[in-house]
A = this chain, B = another copy of it.
């Protein structure tokens, strides 16, 4: 079904919450209350985000987490990568040399382009976007094209 994991979904909810008060410290226990996600799970997500330098942590009493960068400087692709690891639509994209039919594979190149297109789409959405009301914009994405149409359809 091509979906992100639950943890990633939690991560966006949590980060969106934090993005509303970017300068304050947010303890895991506070976030549990405001999001409804169980404490151990919240804790796990926060650790992963901290490790990926999306959040900065402060230990000890009165500690907590805050955004490492401005809300518009962290995007969804980074969040997904922090929780799930590198984004690659097929196994061959993330784990090199594993695939037996790699030498003769003719579709790898196209998957790589699809990959880039999806990544670009995810990269275009920031925490600021998530925290803000929904509006619309257009973004250009690199894609493979058919043999027949030998020129760019849309230029950016």
Contacts and interface: CB of A to CB of B under 8 A. Distances in A.
A138 to B, nearest CB: 4
A136 B140 contact: no
Integer count of this chain's copies in the complex: 2
B154 A134 contact: no
With most chain B CB atoms within 10 A of its CB, the pick from A85, A106, A150 is A106
A123 to B, nearest CB: 10
Given A1-B85, A80-B2, A138 B142 contact: yes
Given A126-B146, A143-B125, A143-B139, A4 B89 contact: yes
Contacts of A52: none
Contact of A140 (B94, B134, B140, B147): B140
Interface residues of A, number: 70
A89 to B, nearest CB: 5
Nearest to A3: B89
Interface of A: 1-4, 6, 9, 12-13, 16, 36, 72, 76, 80, 84-94, 100-101, 105-107, 109-114, 117-118, 120-122, 124-126, 128-147, 149-150, 152-156
21 contacts: A1-B85, A1-B94, A2-B118, A3-B91, A3-B93, A9-B91, A110-B130, A113-B125, A117-B121, A117-B139, A118-B121, A118-B122, A121-B143, A125-B144, A132-B147, A136-B143, A136-B145, A137-B152, A137-B153, A137-B154, A139-B141
